[in-house]
Amino acid sequence: MYGYAGHMLKVDLSRGKTKIEPLEKELASLYIGGKGFGAKILYDQMRPRIDPYDPESLLVFATGPVNGLPLSGAAKLCAVFKSPLTEIWGESQCGGFFAPHLKFAGYDAMILYGRSEKPVYITIDDKEIEIRDATHLWGKDSYETEDIIKRDHDEKFQVLSIGPAGENLVRFACINHNKGRQFGRAGGGAVMGSKNLKAIAVRGSGTIEVARPDEFDNFKKELNDRIKERLKSLTEYGTPAIMAATNSTGTLPTRYWTEGEFEGFEEINAEAMKRKLVKRNKACYACAVACGKISKVERGPYAGTEVEGPEYETLFALGSLCGNANLESIAKANEICDRLGLDTISAGNVIAFAMECYEQGILTQKDTEGIELNFGNHEAIITMLKKIAYREGLGAILAEGVRKAAKLIGKGSEKFAVHVKGLEPPGYDPRGLKGVALAYAVSCRGACHVRHMAYRPNLTGSHPFTQEKIDRLSYERQAEIVKELEDFHAIVDSMVLCKFVCLPTVGPILWDELARLYSIVTGIETGKKELLTIAGRINNLVRAFNIREGVGRKDDTLPQRFFNEGLKRGASKGEVVDREKFEKMLDEYYTLRSWTKEGKPVLQ
Give the footprint of ligand SF4 on this chain (CB under 6 A). Answer: 73, 75, 95, 283-284, 287, 289-292, 498, 500-501
| Between 289 and 417, CB nearer to ligand SF4 | 289
**Cα–Cα separations (whole angstroms), residue 163 to 349, 483, 591:** 20, 36, 43
For residue 370, the cross-strand partners are none
Cβ atoms 342, 187 nearer than 8 A: no
| Between 291 and 441, CB nearer to ligand SF4 | 291
| Between 182 and 251, CB nearer to ligand SF4 | 182
Least separation in angstroms between residue 534's CB and ligand SF4 is 23
Least separation in angstroms between residue 233's CB and ligand SF4 is 12
User: In a 3-state reduction of DSSP, which class is residue 554?
Assistant: helix
| Between 95 and 114, CB nearer to ligand SF4 | 95
| Between 85 and 498, CB nearer to ligand SF4 | 498
* Spatial distance between the Cα atoms of 304 and 274, rounded to a whole number of angstroms: 17
Q: How many CB atoms lie within 10 A of CB 550?
A: 12
254-267 exposure pattern, b = at least 16 Cβ within 10 A, e = fewer: bbbbbbbbbebbee
Percent of residues in the chain assigned helix, strand, coil, to nearest 5: 45, 15, 45
| Between 311 and 328, CB nearer to ligand SF4 | 311
| Between 289 and 577, CB nearer to ligand SF4 | 289
| Between 11 and 75, CB nearer to ligand SF4 | 75
- C-alpha count within 13 angstroms, C-beta hemisphere, residue 78: 33
Least separation in angstroms between residue 433's CB and ligand SF4 is 23
Kindly report the backbone phi and psi dihedral angles of residue 28, in degrees, each rounded to the nearest multiple of 5, phi listed first: -65, -40
Least separation in angstroms between residue 282's CB and ligand SF4 is 7
Cβ atoms 181, 95 nearer than 8 A: yes
CA proximity to 180, closest of 320, 39, 281:
281
| Between 149 and 492, CB nearer to ligand SF4 | 492
* Spatial distance between the Cα atoms of 355 and 317, rounded to a whole number of angstroms: 13
* Spatial distance between the Cα atoms of 99 and 75, rounded to a whole number of angstroms: 6
* Spatial distance between the Cα atoms of 545 and 89, rounded to a whole number of angstroms: 7
| Between 280 and 411, CB nearer to ligand SF4 | 280
* Spatial distance between the Cα atoms of 364 and 359, rounded to a whole number of angstroms: 9
What is the DSSP secondary-structure string of 195-233?
TTEEEEEEE-------S-HHHHHHHHHHHHHHHHHH-HH
For residue 563, the cross-strand partners are none
Least separation in angstroms between residue 96's CB and ligand SF4 is 7
**Cα–Cα separations (whole angstroms), residue 197 to 18, 45, 141, 390, 517:** 14, 21, 14, 18, 36
| Between 283 and 524, CB nearer to ligand SF4 | 283
Cβ atoms 445, 89 nearer than 8 A: yes
| Between 439 and 492, CB nearer to ligand SF4 | 492
Least separation in angstroms between residue 268's CB and ligand SF4 is 21
Least separation in angstroms between residue 583's CB and ligand SF4 is 36
Least separation in angstroms between residue 228's CB and ligand SF4 is 13
* Spatial distance between the Cα atoms of 437 and 433, rounded to a whole number of angstroms: 7
Single-letter amino acid, residue 427? G
* Spatial distance between the Cα atoms of 68 and 497, rounded to a whole number of angstroms: 11
Least separation in angstroms between residue 95's CB and ligand SF4 is 4
* Chain center to CA of 393: 28
* Spatial distance between the Cα atoms of 310 and 289, rounded to a whole number of angstroms: 17
Cβ atoms 270, 279 nearer than 8 A: no
Least separation in angstroms between residue 208's CB and ligand SF4 is 17
Tell me which H or E stretch contains 113.
Answer: strand 109-113
Least separation in angstroms between residue 467's CB and ligand SF4 is 22
Least separation in angstroms between residue 291's CB and ligand SF4 is 3
176-201 exposure pattern, b = at least 16 Cβ within 10 A, e = fewer: bbbbbbbbbbbbbbbbbbbbbbbbbb
| Between 385 and 498, CB nearer to ligand SF4 | 498
Cβ atoms 547, 595 nearer than 8 A: no
**Cα–Cα separations (whole angstroms), residue 20 to 6, 130, 146:** 10, 13, 26
| Between 352 and 503, CB nearer to ligand SF4 | 503
- Judging by DSSP bridges, how do beta strands 306-308 and 89-94 pair with one another? unpaired
Least separation in angstroms between residue 84's CB and ligand SF4 is 26
Least separation in angstroms between residue 501's CB and ligand SF4 is 6
| Between 75 and 199, CB nearer to ligand SF4 | 75
The greatest distance separating any two alpha carbons of the chain, rounded to the nearest whole angstrom, comes to 68
Least separation in angstroms between residue 292's CB and ligand SF4 is 6
